[in-house]
Structure 1
Amino acid sequence: MPHSLHLTKITDLNDRHDIYGPIHKGLRKAQCDLLARLGNVDFGDARATADLLSDMRALLVLAAAHLEHEDRHIHDALRTRGAASVDRLDHQHDDHRATFAELETLLASIEAASAEERPGLGRRLYLAFGTYVAHDLEHMHEEETVAAPQLWSLFSDAEMMAIENRIVGSLPPEKAMAFMRLMIPAINPAERAALLGGMKQQAPREAFDAVIEFAARPNLSAAEFADLARRLDLVA
């Protein structure tokens, strides 16, 4: 998509279900935070390097899972109703997967390197991951400005929520919690209250309490958590 079209093709939500919004906000924040860490970490520090590489691997696992969810649930649904843009998005996902393999090779090379070699390899990783983030930001923009309007034209909000629920239902508990940790600090207060308010009403109490204690409370500022507690009538 030409850069000149990026702003003119943004469609308003108009109160439609935003199936891409929260997870994409989570991925944008997590990827940009990680890119900043790659830029300022001391690759000569073995412990700091190991922690960063571990966090990067964990994020790439979630990013790969997100692609699979979109392929299996959103793209397949669009195909059943004749949407035209799905093949292009599939190809972009394949490019992302190839990049993940290249990034893993770089991660392994840093782990095997000496302290003297790590800074140079770390610079390669920083630039390579920055390129991936740039491509993924553009890809997510295309999904939210091209694929989302197609979804709105072909599916009701109830149907899109059913697709979303199938994605959530396919997740093992630990991966569901990891995605919550990405999304909760990245979305705005109203979106946060809507996401967790729906969970409070529909999910088992122990599952909701776990998300509050292990995803929301540790990843929000005191002011943000107090606002959430007020909106959801929680004990802060």
Structure 2
Amino acid sequence: MRTTPPRFDIYAPIHKALRLFMTDTLQRLGRLDLDDPQDLAAGLGQLDTLLGAASSHLQHENDCIHPALELQQAGASQRIAGEHREHLDIIATLRAHAAALRAAPEAATAHRLYRQLAAFVAENFEHMDMEETRHNQALWAGYSDAELQAIEHRILAGIGPQEMSLWLRWLILALNPTERAQLIAGLPPAAREPVLDSARALLDDGAWGKLCRALGRKVAPGLVEA
């Protein structure tokens, strides 16, 4: 039987990274030690980085994906665009409450921030699922994979080195072995080695071994064979 190759999914990889980033940050906020200034600073620092990344991510979608949707189907992006505006308001609220916790580390303030982030994460999971279903259906009906990849390239061209490094960190951790190898194999040669250095620091021996074999690289002695 012939199987239809999967269509190019512009949302799936970055959403995997964002889901992991969100849940990791939520867990970190839940276990904050308010009596440890370094732990508090690190946890709130990660939250700040997440909120900045989330803001940037939705702007990339607004600028590059939503116009493509509207060209094919007027109003197709209206609901999600409205949710994006709501997300920016929530992000501003989270930043304000994080600043309050930083200024006065109290248990009630920390728990309020944790619950607010949990609600934001929960809403985002539903939001991303709609993008990966309804938006993808509209994109696949109107564009070839090559055209969708061109949209992704425009997004990537607008991401600076620092933001790109951040997303690569979470992508490396979030993707499955095949996706991870495809991501790194698709990088420009000059960028591949630094990303591999980062991957080695992030992955356990088993995952690193799988990545090396997928890329045709020799697995360093002492690593666990998976």
Pick the aligned partner of 2:83 from 88, 92, 97.
92
Question: 1: distance between equivalents of 2:9 and 2:72?
Answer: 19
TM-aligned CA deviation for residue 92 of structure 1: 0.6
| Pairing 1:206–2:190 present | yes
SS of residue paired to 2:22: helix
The separation in 2 between residues aligned to 1:208 and 1:83, in whole angstroms, is 40
Unaligned 5+ residue runs, structure 2? 220-226
Aligned pair partner of 1:24 in 5, 10, 15: 15
Aligned partners of 1:14, 1:129: CA distance in 2, in Å? 37
Q: Is residue 2:209 matched to residue 1:226? A: yes
Aligned residues: 216
Residue deviations 1:113-142 (CA, integer Å, cap 9, x gap): 1x4xx2211001100000000000000010
Aligned equivalent of 1:47: 38
Aligned to 1:5: none
Does residue 182 in structure 1 map to residue 165 in structure 2? no
Are 1:150 and 2:150 counterparts?
no
Asked whether the 8 Å contact 1:44–1:119 carries over to 2, the reply is: no
Q: 1:71 to 1:41 in 2, by over 3 A?
A: same
**Unmatched 5+ stretches in structure 1:** 1-12
Q: Which of 153, 163, 176 is 1:165 aligned to?
A: 153
Paired position in structure 2 for 1:10: none
Asked whether the equivalents of residues 70 and 76 of structure 2 are also in contact (C-alpha less than 8 Å), the reply is no
Displacement after TM superposition at 1:83 (Å): 4.6
Equivalent in the alignment of 2:126: 138
Cα distance per residue 1:76-123 (max 9 Å; x no partner)? 11112225420111001001100000000011101111x4xx221100
Q: Quote the offset at 1:187 in angstroms.
A: 1.0
Identity percentage over the alignment?
37
Q: Does the Cα contact within 8 Å between 1:41 and 1:48 map onto a contact in 2?
A: yes
TM, length-normalised to structure 2: 0.91
Q: Which of structure 1's runs of 4+ aligned residues deviate more than 4 A? A: none
8 Å contact kept, 1:83–1:150? no
Amino acid at match of 2:193: D
